[in-house]
A and B are shown apart, each in its own frame.
Chain A
Amino acid sequence: MHISRLVLQEIRYRKIDFILGVFAVVVASGCLVAVMTLLRGHALRVSELMEAQQADTLSLMRAAEDDYRKITKKLGYNILILAKEQDLNAFHTQGYATALMPESYVEQLVNQKVMTIRHLLPTLHEKITWDEQDNLPVILVGVRGEATLAHRPPRKSMLDPVQPGEIRIGSVLHERLGLNKGDTVRLKGRSFTISEVQPPRGNADDVTVWVHLKTAQEMLKRPGKINAIMALSCHCQGAPIEGIRKELLAILPDTQAIELVSRSVVRDEARSRVSALSRETVEDQAEHHAQLREAREAFAAWLVPLILVGATVWIGLLTLGNVRERTTEIGIWRALGFRSTQVLRIFVTRAMITGLAGAALGWAGGFLVGVLWSRAEGVSAGSIGAGALVDMPLLAAVLLLSPLLTALASWLPAMLAAQQDPAQVLRQE
């Protein structure tokens, strides 16, 4: 026969004592498990919500960024590539570049894998007098279709090209000269059909005429020359003007690039604002969930230890009662030759069985309460099933620590039992 047999028989004999002890452990471990299950459910739910939120936000961000991209694209080009010798003072006072550079620069850019810019549009600007219109001063701009970068997929042109034989005029010219789309006009001895009248823009464009680049070069006797390449910087992180300059100069050392600041700032700010707002929304939600979790953890932080201490005292008192009730029995064990360590083991084993049974029942009960509590609070919803709330390390900890705790709680009364003088009891009998 083994001590465990004695213990189990005694437990069967004193069921109420045992049940009271188990109940204490069930309450303690159950509270712990219920709270931890709720917190786990909460953490999983938050994680799930955050993932969904982030996915939604990402999707919205992409959609919004695309919208902004389309909107901001309409702001036009934001990078201007000029000849290196172009005096910027003159450029800004005149409103256009005068220094010339080869048109072939465009092809050079096209054939390189330029990552920082797109939509290349070569132009030739010059202020002229429109002889056929009473020597009216106008700005002649030669344009052609946008150059497509070799390594990028073709994109829709930002500016419709002007075909040879056609001319596009600004709004002031349209009003002042009474010219309309489809009219035929002469400029520098050449005949053009007005293909489009530009809407008012409130800038030099209103007094500008656009013709095909080749035509302009012939009219101005500047074959193969241009004085600006307009480009749109790609909205890449870490691609400020310095990066663009560096990349351009590596390909076209005889150029300079300037940024049309107001446009680029608007574009960047508009696009950055979307992601910032999305981030703020996600962060706000995360903070809210964290605050909820902290509140629950704070609640658990005092409740669980309080219950554990209460249960420990309870187990200790129950074991003391058990020892007192079994005073004569202990005397008999000692008379039969049981050593004090064996008597100690009888009571500690009993306490550990109490702890183990209480832990198992407490875990099951606590888990059930935790799941129901989670559902009542709407924490455990969505795709989080009860299975996901099972915390195996917690189960192992409860099953291991509860018997240890009850053993500790019963240690003092068990020591009293082990040290009890058997002669005192047997003599009184």
Chain B
Amino acid sequence: MARIHVEELSKAYPGRPGAVQALDKVSLEADAGDFVAVRGPSGCGKTTLLLTLGGLLQPTTGLIELDGTQPYALSPEARSRFRAQHIGFVFQQFHLVPYLNVFENVLAPSVAAPVANARERARELIERVGLGHRADHHPAELSTGERQRTALARAMLNNPKVLLADEPTGNLDEGNAEVVLGHMKAFAEDGGTVLLVTHEDHAASFASRTLKMREGRLAP
């Protein structure tokens, strides 16, 4: 069974001039250890695909299975719990909580769902992304690269099976981008599944497979 199984997935946004077809019968599969990059121009539906896969955006039609579970068959509360236990998100804008320090930001997902030895796991991840000396610092005191590494550590706290990354290197310099992508690659090599949405060639080069997206459709 594939870790990610998407079949004939469509998503249309209602609008006054007419519905906007963000996803049009998208199908894809990714197994454990896969690092899949989805490339395409702005507005092609990459983020919609990511949010739909993450259980945050109900598709119009189609089927999604993550590790054998159909998230949209679950109640909203159960879907949130499923997301907390199985999925990690990384965003281009980092989206760290400004009033929490690095350690607390990384620890935050444990509020949504219990994580075994959460504090030790958070410290370990912070060390792993090279921010041990920054654990007590707040996001405003960090560089952009450090912020994204914090966001990455946060995404991995709950030992997710799937990591969904939306342009994670869009605001980073090349050096920091390499560090972040390197961690994501390592995550995949450890048995995780990464779906990276990007428009950068360099970022896509870290992926084991790259898919192109145009006007809501995927092409190999």
Contact = CB atoms under 8 A, between A and B. Distances in A.
A332 interface: yes
Interface SS of chain A: helix, strand, loop or mixed?
A: helix
A427 B84 contact: no
A161 B205 CA distance: 139
Interface stretch (A105-113, A336-344, A350-358, A360-368): A336-344
Contacts of A1: 104, 107-108, 110-111, 118
B112 A336 contact: yes
A335 interface: yes
30 contacts: A1-B104, A3-B111, A5-B104, A6-B97, A6-B108, A9-B100, A13-B98, A13-B99, A328-B95, A329-B97, A332-B95, A333-B112, A334-B56, A335-B54, A335-B89, A336-B83, A336-B109, A337-B84, A337-B85, A337-B113, A338-B111, A339-B80, A339-B81, A340-B76, A341-B77, A422-B56, A423-B56, A427-B51, A429-B92, A429-B93
A301 interface: no
Contacts of B77: 339-341
Nearest to B98: A13
Nearest to B167: A429
Interface in B40-67: 47-48, 51, 54, 56-57
Given A1-B107, A337-B109, 10 more contacts: A1-B108, A6-B108, A9-B100, A13-B99, A331-B95, A334-B56, A337-B81, A337-B82, A337-B158, A422-B56
A155 B220 CA distance: 129
Contacts of A341: 77
A3 B109 CA distance: 11
A246 interface: no
Contact of B47 (A3, A337, A427): A427
Interface of A: 1-3, 5-6, 9-10, 12-14, 328-329, 331-342, 422-423, 426-427, 429
A334 B80 contact: yes
Contacts of B98: 13
Contacts of A6: 97, 100, 108, 111
Interface residues of B, number: 36
Contact of A335 (B56, B76, B104): B56
B187 interface: no
Nearest to A9: B99
B213 to A, nearest CB: 15
Contacts of B83: 335-337
B57 A423 contact: yes
B83 to A, nearest CB: 4
B80 A338 contact: yes
Identify which of B48, B57, B85 gathers the most chain A CB atoms within 10 Å of its CB.
Answer: B57
A12 B138 CA distance: 13
A338 B112 contact: yes
Contacts of A336: 83-84, 89, 108-109, 112, 154
A12 B99 CA distance: 8
A345 to B, nearest CB: 10
Nearest to A331: B95
Identify which of A9, A13, A335, A426 gathers the most chain B CB atoms within 10 Å of its CB.
Answer: A335
Contact of A340 (B51, B80, B95): B80
Contacts of A337: 80-85, 87, 109, 112-113, 158
B91 interface: yes
Interface string B144-174: 0000000000100010000000100000000
A313 B85 CA distance: 39
Contacts of A10: 99
Contacts of A422: 56
A427 B48 contact: yes
Contacts of B85: 337
A339 B95 CA distance: 18
A341 B12 CA distance: 28
B198 to A, nearest CB: 15
B73 to A, nearest CB: 17
A5 B111 CA distance: 10
Contact of A426 (B91, B99, B108, B110): B91
Nearest to A429: B93
Contacts of B97: 6, 329, 332
Nearest to B96: A332
Interface string B128-155: 0000000000000000000000000010
Nearest to A338: B112
Contacts of B110: 1
Contacts of A5: 104
A327 to B, nearest CB: 12
